[in-house]
Amino acid sequence: MSDAIDPDRIERAVEHALTRRKDYGEERLDEGRLAPDPFVQFDLWLAEADDRGVYEPNAMVLGTIGADGTPSSRTVLLRGVDDRGFVFYTDRSSRKGLALAANPTATLLFPWYLIHRQVIVTGAAATVDDDESDAYWATRPYGSRIAATASRQSRPIGSRAELEDRVRELEEEYSGVDDIRRPERWGGYRLRPWRIEFWQGRTSRLHDRLVFERDADAGPGSPWRVERLQP
Ligand SMILES: Cc1cc2nc3c(=O)[nH]c(=O)nc-3n(C[C@H](O)[C@H](O)[C@H](O)COP(=O)(O)O)c2cc1C
């Protein structure tokens, strides 16, 4: 079989994608059934996404703005949520970490396509404290802790072999030792939201969009306004 890409096949794939128009179901999101607290509403939807088979329902797309104003996005995993905000862990010297240091305003998007739902959270990200990062670090498998120590996330490296060598060196250094020190550059962020949008797909593209909003400097427990947006 030839490795050449068949242009007809590409054309067919594009056509298939374009014509596979899906109409969404009869589910609705109305003000009467909305939880008064967006974190409660989020917990309900997250549990439903999980029950209904969404793959990695805690995967979310983090959007940031770099120091030069360039937006960028990537997937991270939600590791905790309560009325203080949404927590994820990463390398703070990564591209996203540098962006958040320059501009803490960020978005999180949960793309639950399978159940025709989307949640978009906007707020300010702040680092979680060392004790909280240490506690989460300790729950990570040995291999993930070694990998996070070996990898200077987002920086170029000459080859895969170079990275694997570094992992081997660390495995020797920590041979028989489970207590791997958390690198200072690795830790959590908590995004404290001031806007949370719940989107429910409906038939004929007449979707439901309900948005919770409050002032950017409002503390946990302060009241939210709810607004319906046109689809
Ligand atoms: C499903 C999935 C989950 C991910 N979870 C994380 C995560 O929790 N933390 C993280 O730093 N990177 C995670 N990544 C990798 C990021 O998407 C990204 O490649 C990495 O963080 C570097 O991003 P940056 O260069 O924009 O900083 C995940 C990727 C995928 C596809």
The three state secondary structure string of 73-123 is: EEEEECCEEECCEEEEEEECCCHHHHHHHHCCEEEEEEEEHHHCEEEEEEE
Mean pLDDT of the chain: 94
- Given this model, what pLDDT does residue 6 score? 81
Nearest CA to ligand 1 atom 3: 76
- Given this model, what pLDDT does residue 157 score? 98
DSSP helix/strand/coil, 201: coil
- Given this model, what pLDDT does residue 2 score? 52
Indicate which residues carry an active-site annotation.
205
Instruction: Return the structure tokens found at 40.
Output: 């409660």
User: 89 C-alpha vs ligand 1 centroid, how far in Å?
Assistant: 9
At residue 5 the predicted structure's pLDDT band, cuts being 50, 70 and 90, is confident
Query: For a substitution probing ligand 1, which of 58, 72, 76 has the most ligand atoms within 8 Å of its CB?
Result: 76
Residue 74 corresponds to which amino acid? R
Query: For a substitution probing ligand 1, which of 55, 73, 90 has the most ligand atoms within 8 Å of its CB?
Result: 90
User: Percent of the chain having pLDDT more than 90?
Assistant: 84
Residue 156 corresponds to which amino acid? P
Mean pLDDT of 8-25: 77
- Given this model, what pLDDT does residue 9 score? 80
Mean pLDDT of 202-217: 95
Residue 1 pLDDT > 50: no
Question: CA-CA distance, 69 to 99, in Å (whole number)?
Answer: 9
Residue 210 pLDDT > 60: yes
At residue 134 the predicted structure's pLDDT band, cuts being 50, 70 and 90, is very high
Does 8 or 164 have the greater pLDDT score?
164
Does 217 or 6 have the greater pLDDT score?
217
Does 222 or 78 have the greater pLDDT score?
78
Residue 110 pLDDT > 90: yes
Domains of the chain are 27-141+184-228 (2.30.110.10)
Residue 136 pLDDT > 60: yes
Q: pLDDT tens across 178-200, in order?
A: 899 999 999 999 999 999 999 99
> Rounded to a whole number, what is the largest CA-CA distance in the chain?
64
Mean pLDDT of 131-147: 97
Mean pLDDT of 47-54: 98
Contact residues of ligand 1, CB 6 A cut-off? 56, 59, 72, 74-77, 88-91, 94-96, 153-154
